[in-house]
Structure 1
Amino acid sequence: MSQRERDIDVLARTIWGEARGEGIAGQVAVGWTIRNRVEMDLGQDGKPDWWGEGYEGVCRAPWQFSCWNKNDPNYPYLTGARDIPNAQYMLAREAAVVVIEGRQPDPTGGATHYYATTMPKAPKWVVGAARACKIGRHIFFKDVP
């Protein structure tokens, strides 16, 4: 598998795990949040960032995208131990390609974080962060301290 195909697959699996209940707009927004992390150099120092490097590093960084946590019910699907329903995977893959190829501009305005409105309360990291937008059932943030 080429690096491009690996990036698309890992991003698609992450989008599926984080936003499969959203339409294409919500899935693209989640994908752009990941791309924004991939493209950002936190310290402007060229060194690896705490949230990972490249699509796989960012998606699978510990405790960043809960679907990759070993205790998350999505984890067996993301690792291939269970099969993701093909139609759902293909929609997430379409969103991943749109994001990686830049076929649509970033709808989040540069967000690097989000949380689902289905969570019982907002995460602690939202304090001091700039709310960028709400798309579907996700609220997106940038400038997270």
Structure 2
Amino acid sequence: MLSYVPYAFGGAMLIASFAFAGHYMGRNAVAHSLVEEEPQVATSSPVSTLIQKGSLMPSDATLDLVNLPIIREQEVVSTSKGDYIEPEPDVPEAPEAVVKHEPEKIEKRLALTPPVWKMESTFKLKRNEKQKVVAQRRIRMAEENCLAKAVYFEARSESELGQLAVAKVVLNRVKDPNFPKTICGVVYQGSDRRNSCQFSFACDGVADEVKNKAAWENSKRVAQKAIDGDQTIRVIGAATNYHADYVRPRWAKEMRKLIKIGRHIFYSDS
């Protein structure tokens, strides 16, 4: 009888182990079936919108283009680009004071920009002044050229004083009401008729061709000095006529003789 005890004990243990294993496998099967029956939930990483990325907006904020706050510093008056109004510093004031003084300040700032018509009139004035300056310069150059020709063809062989005296006669005639009012008018008066002009070179039938370059440059310099009011020729005073000492014009008897410089004798009609 004792010889069967170990076999009986071993059999009991084997039965117990099978029972335990069956119970454990049953629990795992139930748990597995429960997991499979649960609905699957889609998972994804957090996504940020392009507007929120890299900005200081909160993660739950949305961009509303209609209700964006207006920044005062970015306001520009629509009349022109130059009418930018600087924002006033935020100083706490009573509502009455803000309403009372702010329109007056804005009006003063806007008044600093001139109206369009005034700016256009300024540009036109500048253009007119420029045209006047250019015209005056051209007239001056033409007058100097005419006077230089009178000096060159009438007195280039004379001393500088004698050349200045001839130029002074031309300028005195411009001031005299009996002669033309311009230098060129005086120099070429009567040149439309042969041998009827005031200065012989102007109507002698020979072209006014400058051949001596050095004498021509000197004549232009003398003409400029005379126009600028050089006082070295004050000795001839108000002389309006002259002639070479080798001729005897009829008009000389009716005028007052002033001075002889080189080969020229100068006269005044008063």
Structure 1-normalised TM-score?
A: 0.81
The structure carrying a bigger strand percent of its residues is 1
Deviation at 1:31? 0.3
Q: Which runs of 5+ in 2 are unaligned?
A: 1-136, 191-196
Deviations 1:1-40 (A, max 9, x none): 7111111111001111111110111000000000000112
Q: Distance in 2 between matches of 1:84 and 1:3?
A: 25
Q: Distance in 2 between matches of 1:10 and 1:107?
A: 23
Deviations 1:80-129 (A, max 9, x none): xx33311001111111111111022433111000001133xx10001120
Deviations 1:48-107 (A, max 9, x none): xxx322000000001101110142xxx41x3xxx33311001111111111111022433
2:213 corresponds to 1:86: yes
2:170 to 26, 34, 44: 34
The structure carrying a bigger helix percent of its residues is 2
Contact 2:210 2:216 in 1 (8 A): no
Q: Which amino acid aligns with 1:133?
A: I
Higher relative contact order (CA 8 A, sep 6+): 1
1:95 to 213, 222, 244: 222
The match for 1:142 is 268
Identity of aligned residues (%): 31
Q: Which amino acid aligns with 1:118?
A: Y
1:128 to 244, 254, 269: 254
RMSD across aligned positions (CA): 1.6
Q: Distance in 2 between matches of 1:9 and 1:60?
A: 12
Q: Which runs of 5+ in 1 are unaligned?
A: 43-50
**Counterparts in 2 of 1:22-61, with a 5 A limit?**
22-42=158-178, 51-61=179-189
Runs of 4+ in structure 1 deviating by more than 6 angstroms, as ranges, are: none
Q: Which amino acid aligns with 2:265?
A: I
The match for 2:9 is none
